Amino acid sequence: MTHGLIVADHTGGAGVNMMLINGTSTIDTVWCQTIPILAHHYYRFTGWTCPFNTIAPPIFLVRFNEQLSDTIFTDTTLCLWQQIDPTIWYSGDSVFAHICLTNASGIIGEGNDYAIDDLSLIELCQAHDSVSIAVIADVAPVPVITGDTLLCDGDMAVYTASFAPGANILSYTWTPSSAGAIISGQGTDQLKVFWNGVGNAHVCLDVETNCQTNSACLDAHIGIIPFPEQVTGPPFLCPGEFGTYTVPFDAAVDEYNWSITSGINIISGQGTNTLQVQWSNTPSADLCLELVNECGTSTSCITITQFSGYTTILDTVLCGSNTIVVNNHTYGNGIWSGTELIPSSTGCDSVVEIQITPVNAFEMMTTKKLCPGDSLYLQGAFQTQAGSYIDTFLQYTIVIVSSSQSLFLPLLTPHGLYPRLVILLLRGLRSQLSMRAIVIV
């Protein structure tokens, strides 16, 4: 009896009593025994213990032939038999087993009492089995990826991986570039991708077998429909005239297809970004260009109009018997108007309408007063004396802005050159002017 509880043997019967141990606070070997065994066999050692103190339940060290085999902890349940955890031991070359049980739970000031019973060493039955191990040449093959590589923005594409015969692929991991979104097929040998973007792209696959990994990538390019560029060139052409029309070069364009109204000759440049045409006698025509690539077609046009010709009005004056020559024809001396057609190499002839006004010399009289020391330039000299002077001014140019024109003539004085106002009533652009000046000092 302990703590008011009666503890009986774990296994009752004559000669099979439990062993009561008055434990100490130091490590203490409480039981040893040597028994014959078989070499090269496995044995199972176990037993039962009953602690009589909840503060210091036993901690068993199990030794076989002075070699520590195991450390076994017990719980604090008071006065209750509990199994000492089984220890498996291999005998090796030994034919005897010297087994010792040591308690290592001593605590100073505490009772370390406990009981042990039914210690046993049991030979384990041997069982035999065989395992076949095959070493294989498990080489991960390089994936061969097929699928669309010339793409357009917004395309959906399917990519398939194939391998050499006999490949045992355990996993597939697909990785498209940033412009690609996986729709389905991750983890399989076929992938569907939605492409959204422009430029270079790729799709890669990593595969894994039992022992190896490998990977491969397929490069692609994403394009867009060509931007409809504006066609530049002359909007007017004369019959027979050559015109050059162009758009900026674009490496993304596969074809430049020009078209124009029938009868206009394409001289060169079909299939390029620059076209030369020769105009016929057509009032107008539309020149159009199709820009084509794998993603689609865009069209740009320019309207060309036939130039009606140049018309120039020649309105001038001639003095006396003077003449002028226009287009190998002489005007003056009674021939005062006419129309001349001047052809050009481009086919746009110039029409010149000629109107000539004959002009005789104008005679004017003016009176000038000079202060002492002043002079007036007449008859090729500076005049300072009073008198009447006659002088002629040839081909004096006057720009006519109305029927009344103000003409300023210079007057030289000791203080500088000052203008003097003369009122003229003239028609025409050029005249021969005669002026009579009366100088009063």
329-358: pLDDT as tens digits: 898 888 888 888 777 665 677 778 888 888
Residue 410: CA count within 13 A, CB half-sphere: 8
Residue found by looking up tokens 């799709």 in the block: 203
CATH code given to domain 144-223: 2.60.40.1080
Q: What is the CA radius of gyration of the chain?
A: 62
Contact 268, 278 (CB under 8 A): no
DSSP state of 332: B
DSSP state of 2: B
Q: Which among 368, 400, 395 has a CA at the least distance from the CA of 384?
A: 368
Least confident span in 11-15, 79-83, 284-288, 370-374: 11-15
Mean pLDDT of 280-293: 92
Rounded to two decimals, the pTM is 0.42
Select from 2.60.120.260, 3.20.20.220, 3.40.50.300, 3.90.1150.10 the CATH code of 19-123.
2.60.120.260
* pLDDT confidence tier of residue 289, bands split at 50, 70 and 90: very high
Cα–Cα dist 181/157, whole Å: 10
Please spell the DSSP secondary structure of 212-233, one letter per residue: -EEEEEEEEEEE-PPP-PPPBS
pLDDT given for residue 417 in this prediction: 34
Q: Regarding predicted confidence, which is higher, 387 or 235?
A: 235
> Which tokens in the block code for residue 369?
């007063």
Q: Regarding predicted confidence, which is higher, 286 or 109?
A: 286
pLDDT given for residue 195 in this prediction: 96
pLDDT of residue 132 exceeding 80, the answer is: yes
pLDDT given for residue 144 in this prediction: 96
pLDDT given for residue 149 in this prediction: 94
273 sits in the region (left: phi over 0; alpha: psi -120 to 50; else beta) called alpha
Select from 2.60.40, 1.10.3470, 2.40.40, 3.40.30 the CATH code of 236-306.
2.60.40
Domain with CATH 2.60.120.260 in the chain: 19-123
pLDDT of residue 181 exceeding 70, the answer is: yes
* pLDDT confidence tier of residue 368, bands split at 50, 70 and 90: confident
